[in-house]
Structure 1
């Protein structure tokens, strides 16, 4: 597919590294998103996570609010947390009907065993529900640092399988990576991805500015590499954990080194320190770099 519906200008290189970025929120973040909205470009993709313990109605309301603010909602579907096919299709139909959803992001989910009939995100794709609902694009996870229960080669095989399944059903694939602190790992992963013939657009996960201890807690929870040498690349010293840190060094590296050989790439921000802090950081970065 030569045209990708995730972003209207995806086919051309961005003017600056932060152009066309996306955000990730929870259902509880809508008030914060509303407050930050004046600093966010229209049609910005906003992913709505699928957290345990949330009511489906809250997720639907969040997607509706994202659309009402002029952004593109991209709800998550956590396969192993879905208890039945009725729950899955009810949620999908609700976000399509009420929020005009055209793109979704799929994960297997944290539980080792499924709570219902879906073991992984491939099972959701193969259900046929997304194309029946009129979904145009499906996001899948990318793991530059590897996966806790799969070998490196298995990770590549899964990406190939999912992309083929998505495209065979008339939808466009998108890869969104976990956040990380090491640009070298991400750049090498992108080069290998493209060398394997995968042309799908990629959104690189970027941790928004936050307290250092908070960033390290999220890194531990998500299995993200946070050794002293890796954190030094990001601008964090393990001997000084007070205060906050932003992704300046990380984004600078991507700005300097991302090229045509890396294919279509945008940034995806995880606003660990708050949506307002993240979008203010992006706006300030753009001012400082004339973006």
Structure 2
């Protein structure tokens, strides 16, 4: 990504600086293809999906580090069958230098496969620091969660933030992807009003096919009605096309740059972007470079 004098950066470019990306355990070839388009030192999250195994997750995290990026492996609490499995995973990640940053998330299974029913339960074990973890990302849900009440989400966010602070660990709040800036801004403000000052990374999809984007939105309970997708920058009448986050990034950065809002939320200094790479790592990295060049 081209370097621009901070004094001349647009709010959108400042928001896009130091973006992070997401990949699955199967995406190592895609990462290799995209490596020259991604700024060195970028954070790259590595998923913990049900169709992946330990070797795949560890190998992907190692590849991220070997290519000059910062691995952020996911720890899916409800997919862990035992404390032993958690420690084995953390131990293997530590061997490849991939435990400085992790993302502790609840995970999909309706019934936990072991002793951890939430990401908070994993944090409260105190095991993360033992394996070299310095920073923990935790989940945020600007548009809510289809299976969890909002008051529960807020209680857990506050409890996780407090537990990490007590343990001397840095925290980052990483959100589910969103299409609409209005609930995102309301949620950011609500986070700050609760006294939580951790960096927030707002999740948004990288460029991808519209049908694919809408499929993921439905799966995760994200609002995808006609008004919202129009605000994001695509039309429900053209499902064969592709869409990128240009409009979303421009609108969100403009809102964050408002002096009153920036004073209350930390603005683009304390809010960054996390890209869900539904259309591929290279397509997302190329989009980011092109967007910066145009801005």
Cα deviation 1:213-252 (Å, max 9, x = unaligned): 0101111111111011111101122122111111110011
Residue of structure 1 in register with 2:250 after alignment: 252
Q: How far apart are 1:15 and its partner, in Å?
A: 5.9
Match of 2:292 among 264, 286, 291: 286
Which stretch of the first structure deviates more once superposed, 234-243 or 13-22?
Answer: 13-22
Paired residues for 1:108-119 under 5 Å: 108-119=106-117
- Report the Cα offset of residue 175 of structure 1: 0.3
Runs of 4+ in 1 over 4 A off after TM superposition: none
Q: Distance in 2 between matches of 1:19 and 1:274?
A: 19
Structure-2 separation of matches of 1:98 and 1:240: 45
Q: In the alignment, which residue of structure 1 is the partner of 2:166?
A: 168
Query: What do the CA deviations read for 1:248-280 (whole angstroms, capped 9, x no partner)?
Result: 100111221213232211100001011111011
The residue aligned with 1:9 is none
Counterpart-to-counterpart distance in 2, 1:101 and 1:117: 22
After TM superposition, list the pairs within 5 Å mapping 1:89-238 onto structure 2.
89-238=87-236
Segment drifting more, 202-211 vs 248-257: 248-257
- Equivalent residue pairs, number: 277
Q: Distance in 2 between matches of 1:78 and 1:23?
A: 18
Q: Distance in 2 between matches of 1:262 and 1:118?
A: 32
Name 2:68's counterpart in structure 1. 70
Q: Is the 8 Å Cα contact of residues 212 and 242 (structure 1) preserved in structure 2?
A: yes
Give yes or no for the alignment of 1:267 onto 2:270.
no
> In the aligned structure 2, how far is the partner of 1:165 from the partner of 1:241?
44
| Per-residue deviation, 1:51 | 0.5
The 3-state SS of whatever aligns with 2:21 is strand
Q: In structure 1, the residue corresponding to 2:15 is in which secondary structure?
A: coil
Task: Say which SS state the counterpart of residue 117 (structure 1) adopts.
Answer: coil
* 1:288 Cα deviation from its structure 2 partner: 0.1
Moved more, 270-279 or 147-156: 147-156
Q: TM-score, normalised by structure 2?
A: 0.91
8 Å contact from structure 1 (residues 131, 170) kept in 2: no
Unaligned runs of at least 5 residues, structure 2 = 1-10
Structural RMSD (CA):
1.4
- Which residue is equivalent to 1:10? none
Q: Which residue in the other structure is 1:48 paired with? A: 46
